Structure 1
Amino acid sequence: MYTILKKEISGFLSSMVAYVTIIFFLVITGLFLWVFPDSSILDYGYAGLDSLFYIAPYVFMFLIPAITMRSFAEEKKEGTFELLSTSPITDWQIILGKFGAGLLLVVFALIPTIVYYYSVYELGATPGNLDSGAVTGSYIGLLLLGAAFTAIGIFSSSITNNQIVAFIIAVFLCFIAFNGFESISSIASLGTLSSALINLGINAHYQSVSRGVLDTRDLIYFLSFAAVFLAATKTVLSARKW
């Protein structure tokens, strides 16, 4: 697993993929946080990172699929997956190695945003008047969200040898998982089923964690969600050996 993780990270860093995606994430979130009038802290007059944690999931919908689209699709296209699958490592080691590499890049993208936190921390009328508990919860929520989206991206890349197709499938699945259930519940008259349907989506659990309280139900949800897509990836890889 560590060998695959190291190989994937080296592959990301030797290309422009990692740098472009991380810069893209920081530019977009920075614009929403400091420039755009409807969300800018400077115009809003309130020292908080709400804009960052609102826009970040939508940026992740494109950033993470861009990172993960090459995971298996490129290996299949170049014919190196057969060599990888016959090496003395298990499918799970391959999957977890690629998953870990993708998630690690998400962490790399989030680390520079600590500068935003420090800036907002000092910008308040009373420096330090910032709900650090909620901010910490929101960062944990983004990491859990990143894990869920990375699992989706790995799965999408495993079912095709075309990176663009893998990217499109992953973006679609990420959007459905994050907003789809909530949207369906709002347009359909489902009565008591509406709340249950909303809880199937990621957004409800992300919002819950972002309030600064880490409920074990939310943690179990995210871990289970990622596990389902990683298990689906294992099934796809196993099917190629039949």
Structure 2
Amino acid sequence: MISIFLKEVNEFLDSLIAYVVIGVFLIGIGLLMWVFPDTNVLDYGYASMEPLFSLGPYMFMFLIPAITMKSFAEEKRSGTIELLQTLPFRDSQIIMGKFLAGFFLVLFSVLPTIIYYYSLSYLSNPVGNLDTPGIIGSYIGLVFLGGVFTAIGILASALTGNQIVSFILAAFLCFFFYAGFDAVAEINLWADWSYYIADLGIMAHYTSISRGLLDFKDVVYFGSLMALMLLFTQLTLGFGK
């Protein structure tokens, strides 16, 4: 699993697209936080990282599919998927190696945003007047969200041999699981069940963790959804047969 992990990370970082994707993500977040008039923190009148954590999930919908789109799609296109299955690795190790590589790259992309925390801490009055526990909770929420989106991206890559199709499918699935259930819950047809329908989506659990409240129910939800996506990946590839 470690060798697959290292192979995936090295291949991604050796490509130009890695730095383009990560650069676009960081520049986009930076513009949203510091430049654009409707979202920049300088116009808020108080130090807050809310723009990062409220808009970050939508940026993830493009960043993470770009990271995961070649995981299995490229193996299928080049015909090396059969060779990969003959290697002395368990099926779960192959899938987990690719998943952990994608997840690591997501964390690697998010890490530089910590600079924004220290910048806001310095700019706040008095210095350091930030809701640090809330920010830590929001970062934990981003980590869980990144894990789920990575698992969804791995599944999308396993469903097709075309990287572009994988990217589009992963972006759609990430959007649906994040905001789709809330949209469905707002339909009056099943108003009595709206709370339960919304609770099936990611947004409700991400919002809960972002308040700084690490509820066991939310942890179980994210862990279960990641496991489910990876199980579907195994079934899609026919591993274990």
TM-score, shorter chain, exceeding 0.5: yes
What is the aligned partner in structure 2 of residue 71 from structure 1?
71
Q: Would the aligned equivalents of 1:18 and 1:105 in 2 still touch at CA under 8 Å?
A: no
Q: Would the aligned equivalents of 1:38 and 1:44 in 2 still touch at CA under 8 Å?
A: no
What is the aligned partner in structure 1 of residue 226 from structure 2?
226
**Structure 1 counterpart of 2:177, one-letter code:** A
Structural mapping, 1:98-113, within 5 Å: 98-113=98-113
**Structure 2 counterpart of 1:225, one-letter code:** L
* 1:197 to 2:192 alignment: no
Structural mapping, 1:5-44, within 5 Å: 5-44=5-44
Whole-angstrom CA distance in 2 between matches of 1:188 and 1:174: 24
TM-score by length of 1: 0.97
Report the CA distance between 1:141 and its aligned residue: 0.3
What is the aligned partner in structure 1 of residue 138 from structure 2?
138
Whole-angstrom CA distance in 2 between matches of 1:60 and 1:212: 20
What is the aligned partner in structure 2 of residue 170 from structure 1?
170
Superposition CA RMSD, Å: 1.1
Report the CA distance between 1:91 and its aligned residue: 1.3
Query: Number of residues paired by the alignment?
Result: 241
Gap regions ≥5 residues in structure 2: none
Percent identity reads 53
Whole-angstrom CA distance in 1 between matches of 2:64 and 2:140: 17
Whole-angstrom CA distance in 2 between matches of 1:16 and 1:140: 29
3-state DSSP class of the match of 2:71?
coil
3-state DSSP class of the match of 1:191?
helix
Gap regions ≥5 residues in structure 1: none
3-state DSSP class of the match of 1:137?
helix
**After the TM superposition, which segments of 4 or more aligned residues of structure 1 sit over 6 Å from their partners?**
none
Q: Would the aligned equivalents of 1:180 and 1:201 in 2 still touch at CA under 8 Å?
A: yes
Deviations 1:188-230 (A, max 9, x none): 3322300000100000000000001110100000000000000
Q: Would the aligned equivalents of 1:17 and 1:67 in 2 still touch at CA under 8 Å?
A: no
3-state DSSP class of the match of 1:203?
helix
3-state DSSP class of the match of 1:190?
helix
What is the aligned partner in structure 1 of residue 148 from structure 2?
148
What is the aligned partner in structure 1 of residue 81 from structure 2?
81
Whole-angstrom CA distance in 2 between matches of 1:43 and 1:203: 26
Whole-angstrom CA distance in 1 between matches of 2:16 and 2:214: 35
Whole-angstrom CA distance in 1 between matches of 2:16 and 2:93: 26
